[in-house]
Amino acid sequence: MRALITGVNGQDGSYLAELLLHEGFEVFGTIRRASVPNLQRIEHLKDKITLYYADMADATSLHRAVAESQPDHIYNLAAMSDVRVSFDVPMYAAQVDAVGPLGLLEAVRLEAPGCKLYQAGSSEMFGMNPSVPCNENSTFYPGSPYAAAKVMAFHCTRNYREAYDMFAVNGILFNHESERRGVEFVTRKVSRAVARIAQGMSGNLVLGDLKPKRDWGYAPDYVEAMYLMMTASEPDDYVIATGETHSISELLDVAFEHAGLDWHHHVSFDASLFRPTDPPVLLGDSSKAQEKLGWKPRVRFEELVRRMVDHDCKEEAFGQLGLKAMQA
């Protein structure tokens, strides 16, 4: 069996590559050409997977990757995933997160018609919908260009499933974090700041609104859900979530307390970090996935946050030792 993962060097892509290799797949992945390579998450896998340069904004590169790898599974995890930045570059967000998946669906239809495809959705698609928790039948009410683009990709995936009898599924994953989360996301901003402050390196963390509540899970748990969707007997769409919410204030409470710190002494606010529109609550109901796929979250919020803080504290301590060694 062969699998192609777009965005294989991201948080989810790296965990998924590990899982698929464990399951006996030959793994291919796409990465974007960048001035500074971003391969640290898959450094330990580079001799086990085949990489292609491709971009969701370049349909030709997607066709080439699909045609050459001839995969049995495709997991589309590549995205312009910064919700706040999508307001600044809405056309780019639409090209990558909406038109890009459509191009990938076409590539599968034309180059590998028997291939199964997973499309990464987002809880942001429910956005400003006040009726929570949200499940597979809830109304989409996107609150950002990013979310609107993801809604289009969702409907394109469902349409290709129905029009061309493709095994194409949508995973509507609520927020999921880990030690490999990108440093631009709030959970990792917090865990890295705690680590630096604990090491005496930095005394201030700048954030935006602390009131929004999110349904936060652990990325490796959610990657398992992706695989279960693709190995199910029939294609379908699933919400993946923990069923509980926590505010950013609660995130700060757990993270700083774990390091013996009081966040009130270290956090300041910048209004420019606020989004023009921001869902106050994102809460998911994964009952369908639990019933039909046998999936359930294992790592809960407090443990997730503590794992991230512990990881970043070790990273910062190791960095400090290396710096002292260089200076000696």
Catalytic residues: 122, 124, 146
Distances (CA, A) of 167 to 220, 222, 290: 23, 20, 20
CA dihedral 10, 13, 15, 16 (to 10 degrees): 170
**Strand ranges in the chain using DSSP code E only, listed in sequence order:** 2-6, 26-31, 49-53, 73-76, 116-120, 168-173, 176-177, 205-207, 213-214, 217-218, 238-240, 246-247, 267-269
Q: What's the distance, CA 212 to chain centroid? A: 18
- Which residue type sits at 233? S
Q: What's the distance, CA 175 to chain centroid? A: 7
Strand 168-173 and strand 238-240: the pairing is: parallel
Distances (CA, A) of 32 to 29, 58, 91, 168, 281: 10, 10, 18, 24, 33
CA angle 309, 313, 318 (to 5 degrees): 150
Token pair listed for 249: 């204030």
Q: CA-CA distance, 89 to 66, in Å (whole number)?
A: 28
Q: CA-CA distance, 151 to 148, in Å (whole number)?
A: 5
Token pair listed for 40: 């640290």
Q: CA-CA distance, 148 to 125, in Å (whole number)?
A: 7
Three-state SS for 48? coil
Of the candidates 120, 137, 172, 162, the one whose C-alpha atom is nearest the C-alpha of residue 282 is 172
Token pair listed for 206: 């700048």
